[in-house]
Amino acid sequence: MYCLRIVTNEEKQRFLGFPGIDLKVTELRVEIPEEIIEGQSPVLFCKTTCNLSYKTNFTWYKNGKHLSESVGSNQLLLPSVSSDDTGNYSCAVTDQKHLPSPAVTLSVRCGQKTEPSGKVLYIVAGIGAALICICVIIVVKKIMSLSNVTHEDKGMYCLRIVTNEEKQRFLGFPGIDLKVTELRVEIPEEIIEGQSPVLFCKTTCNLSYKTNFTWYKNGKHLSESVGSNQLLLPSVSSDDTGNYSCAVTDQKHLPSPAVTLSVRSLIFFILAFIHILQHVLCRF
């Protein structure tokens, strides 16, 4: 609230213009439909709580680059969208381009279905993948190869077929859902000296039962597990304490995060048991 205050030389002649002016600060914002499917023609709105003139012109940006001007309108029409229209959209009043709205991400989903259901494909990070989409309307087989897969490669992959006929455009939806995972070592919660614990090298991928694993202790090669993801440590002692990790044998450059294995002394448990026993006997 901003008020005008008038102070004179007379003590009782002081005036205040109340309630004054209530200043509210707002900003532009981009509004987009909740779901946009390929082939639709969505309308984006540049809105604010201010009552702007109906002649106000707006400038639109995609990924920070100038896109178009909306003369006397706060709307942006995207005709027949495709995956190329995916991006971050923002807007600004044309004569106030230095004050753009926050960017809003627009995502375009795959459209027409050519297969009844999708498939989920799990890939270990760093390993190459071949994604195969088969369209049943037109007999086409297309293979896309991915190498050195990372978590950024996860997502839905669809095969899109475009013919010379305008209405004969097909999309294999929902396609293949690529999920990227990594190996992890699982060990028992508590390991006591003399026990023979089993360590597991696991992943959410459905690896072949013939997959071989390599084990490491403190970063140094320990052993190979042929056709098994298990490592048996017979009759452990304090010497077996360390950081254990694993890797698929033919992908040794992609080991799992190391997990610390600690071996608790058997003497400690014996002394603890004696202490508890003495405490119980003393109560009697």
User: CATH number of the domain that 77 lies in?
Assistant: 2.60.40.10
24 lies in some domain: no
Nearest to 247 by CA among 218, 224, 270, 280: 224
Instruction: State whether 33 and 92 are in the same domain.
Output: yes
For 28-109, strand residue ranges (E) read: 29-31, 43-47, 58-62, 65-70, 75-77, 87-93, 104-106
Instruction: State whether 102 and 57 are in the same domain.
Output: yes
Instruction: State whether 160 and 232 are in the same domain.
Output: no
283 lies in some domain: no
Count other C-beta atoms under 10 Å from residue 279's C-beta: 9
pTM beyond cutoff 0.95 = no
Tens-of-pLDDT digits for all 284 residues of the chain? Answer: 777 777 777 777 666 666 777 776 668 899 999 888 888 889 999 988 777 766 788 899 999 999 887 777 788 989 888 888 889 999 998 888 888 899 999 988 865 443 434 444 444 455 444 444 443 333 445 566 666 767 677 777 777 666 666 655 566 666 677 777 788 999 998 888 888 999 999 887 777 777 889 999 999 998 887 777 889 999 999 899 999 999 988 888 888 999 999 998 877 666 666 666 666 666 65
Residue 143, domain extent: 121-181
127 lies in some domain: yes
Cβ-contact 158, 83 below 8 angstroms: no
281 lies in some domain: no
Q: How many domains does the chain have?
A: 3
CA distance 142 to 178: 16
Instruction: State whether 58 and 101 are in the same domain.
Output: yes
